[in-house]
């Protein structure tokens, strides 16, 4: 919605300025500004390191559909988290068609096994919207069932907010106990995963 409003405003300003001699210059400047704005993560609300994590609720992937068990970011971290809040929450966005996502899954499970007892949780968000893709993703996530939080999206709001319009997966967002994103990673890069592991260790370290 912000993008459409911005573009509309640009054209309205152009038509106003068009009555003056600077018409072409103003038009060129506005046209150059549009693609720059559209490429900006802020234009789509994409979250980055230092931002407050957006609080979304997603349906549990393996719970009885009749129960409609919903997990929220604020269930684990942030100012509104319960007394048993975690020291760190790692959100991972994945899809049935994302090959690197499934290569990364054992690493996420290893993170949970290593740090889970110290106040760390992993949340895998399956972004497939069609039934076939969701069923395939659910099957691939089965090794994680009962070990980490596994959910499916009910709408595109959460992945759009965190990853922006281009869903580059796997995508990781590490959130501290205050609800602030302290680290992000995209893709299956060894160095990025090592950095993420160290960031988790720093958050759960006994004080």
DSSP string of 163-204, one letter each residue: H-SS--SSEEEEEETTSBEEEEEES--HHHHHHHHHHHHHHH
pLDDT in tens, 130-184: 999 999 999 999 999 999 999 999 888 999 999 998 899 999 999 999 999 999 9
- Mean pLDDT, all residues of the chain: 83
Distance separating alpha carbons of residues 162 and 48, to the nearest angstrom: 8
Is residue 30 predicted with pLDDT exceeding 50? no
Distance separating alpha carbons of residues 181 and 41, to the nearest angstrom: 15
pLDDT in tens, 107-120: 999 999 999 999 99
> Which strands sit side by side in the sheet containing 171-176, from one edge to the other?
70-72, 57-60, 149-152, 120-126, 88-94, 171-176, 181-186
User: Average pLDDT in the 5-34 region?
Assistant: 50
Q: Are 152 and 50 in contact, with CB atoms under 8 Å apart?
A: no
- 175: Cβ–Cβ under 8 A, 6 or more apart, which residues? 53, 73, 76, 77, 78, 88, 89, 90, 91, 181, 182
What local confidence, expressed as pLDDT, does residue 67 receive? 78
Q: How far is residue 12 CA from its own chain's centroid?
A: 34
CA nearest 71: which of 133, 129, 141, 153? 153
What local confidence, expressed as pLDDT, does residue 43 receive? 42
Distance separating alpha carbons of residues 104 and 143, to the nearest angstrom: 12
Q: Is the pTM of this model over 0.75?
A: yes
């Amino acid at each position: 919605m912000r993008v459409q409003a911005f573009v509309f405003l640009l054209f309205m300003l152009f038509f106003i300025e068009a009555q003056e001699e600077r018409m072409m210059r103003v038009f060129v400047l506005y046209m150059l500004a549009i693609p720059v704005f559209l490429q900006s993560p802020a234009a789509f609300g994409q979250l980055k390191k230092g931002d407050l994590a957006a609080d979304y609720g997603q349906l549990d992937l393996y719970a009885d559909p009749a129960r409609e068990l919903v997990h929220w970011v604020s269930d684990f971290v942030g100012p509104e988290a319960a007394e048993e809040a975690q020291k760190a929450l790692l959100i991972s966005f994945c899809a049935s068609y994302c090959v690197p996502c499934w290569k990364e899954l054992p690493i996420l499970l290893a993170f949970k096994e290593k740090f889970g007892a110290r106040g760390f949780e992993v949340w895998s968000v399956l972004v497939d919207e069609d039934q076939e893709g969701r069923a395939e993703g659910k099957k691939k996530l089965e090794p994680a069932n009962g070990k980490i939080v596994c959910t499916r999206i009910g709408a595109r709001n959460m992945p759009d907010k965190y990853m922006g319009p281009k869903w580059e997966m796997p995508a990781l967002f590490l959130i501290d106990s205050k609800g602030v994103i302290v680290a992000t990673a995209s893709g299956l890069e060894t160095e990025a995963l090592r950095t993420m592991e160290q960031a988790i260790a720093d958050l759960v370290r006994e004080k």
